[in-house]
Amino acid sequence: MLEVPSHAPALVPALEDIQRGYGLPMEERRVRGEPIRLFTFPHGSQDPSRTVVCLPGLGASGRSFAPLAPLALEHRLLLWTPTLRTPLTHTPLQWNLEALADPSAGLPPRFALLGSSFGSLISLAFALKHPERVRALVLVSPVTSVHRVRRWALSLSTLVRIPKPFAFVFAPTVARVLGGRYLPPEGRAEIVREARRLSPMEMLRRLRDILDADYLGALEGLRVPTLVLHGARDHLVPLSDACDVARRIPGARLEVLREASHLPYMSHSHSFNALVDDFLQDHPSQAPASGLLTP
């Protein structure tokens, strides 16, 4: 069933089309002329000064952050889903950087960013370009340089997009490898279902952004409070890379979830949420709570 945006948030798509626990209200915003899906928590905080924009991994949607629900009581979580078809005038990374900064996104003057994998690349690039907009930065399974990403794992992730019926054979396996042994079946199904919505071309364009990425040299100039969260069993991004990222960013804090893999917010949500909440509580916004950018 197609997702139909509404000014009054509704559960979309229909609950029978998504996994238990992942049905979230969705709003579609036109940002720079393209549709952006924003998932939210219906009874969460509405305080704009406590806004946290969550950016998902390579083929996931913002709905993959559903396990962050306990954080929504204290933080205004906006689960951003990049447009399914990035305009050819920009790379996916470039387009998302401009979209996040655009007034039509309706984001407050300052907000926290939480990015996972490809979303961490967008988050980091945005914080480097617009440090005045970012009050805190959470990098999950950080992608900062292709030299630190295991190439075989990148190749494996492309199997999510191979044609039917092969996708139905390999995609769950890919999701299991990325999510680790503790990723619940509902989480694996959510990752697979959303990844199948992307065209092969869009997936390849996002992969190309990762292959072209190299932000290691810029990290020492980052002046944003940063938490790096990593699963010790991540088969895509080595733990040594996360350690290096945290070491290079002045004042960054590193937390390692020993049993987690590439998607710790889905597989170990209780520990993950506690660490993120503790970090965000230490870095409240200093901006007025009333100031929203005019769309």
**Residue the block writes with tokens 């798509």:** 13
Would the pTM count as exceeding 0.75? Answer: yes
In a domain, 237, yes or no: yes
The answer to whether 2 and 13 are in contact (CB under 8 A) is yes
Q: DSSP string covering 198-251, please?
A: S-HHHHHHHHHHHHH-B-GGGGGG--S-EEEEEETT-SSS-HHHHHHHHHHSTT
In a domain, 74, yes or no: yes
Q: DSSP string covering 48-96, please?
A: GGGEEEEE--TT--GGGGGGGGGGGGTSEEEEEE--SS--TTS-HHHHH
User: Which is higher by pLDDT, 198 or 40?
Assistant: 40
CB atoms within 10 A of CB 168: 11
pLDDT digits (tens, 9 = 90+) for 125-139: 999 999 999 999 999
Q: Can you tell me the distance from the alpha carbon of 151 to that of 270, in angstroms, rounded to the nearest whole number?
A: 30
Please give the backbone phi and psi of residue 194, each rounded to the nearest 5 degrees, phi first. -75, -40
> How far, CA to CA in Å, does 154 sit from each of 109, 157, 291?
35, 5, 41
Range of the domain at 130: 22-281
In a domain, 254, yes or no: yes
**Residue the block writes with tokens 């998504």:** 18
In a domain, 288, yes or no: no
Number of domains forming the structure of the chain: 1
State the burial class of residue 26 (Cβ atoms within 10 Å of its Cβ: 0-12, 13-18, 19+). Answer: buried
pLDDT digits (tens, 9 = 90+) for 12-63: 333 346 778 898 999 999 999 999 999 999 989 999 999 999 999 988 899 9
Question: Helices 200-212 and 92-101, interaxial angle, to 10°?
Answer: 90
Instruction: Quickly state the pLDDT bin for 172 (edges 50, 70, 90).
Output: low
Q: DSSP string covering 94-125, please?
A: HHHHHHHHSGGG---SSEEEEEETHHHHHHHH
In a domain, 156, yes or no: yes
In a domain, 56, yes or no: yes
In a domain, 294, yes or no: no
Instruction: Quickly state the pLDDT bin for 178 (edges 50, 70, 90).
Output: confident
Task: Please report the pLDDT score of residue 65 as a whole number.
Answer: 97
Give the CATH number, domain containing residue 243.
3.40.50.1820
Q: What residues does 214 pair with on adjacent strands?
A: 145
In a domain, 4, yes or no: no
Q: Name the DSSP class of 163.
A: P
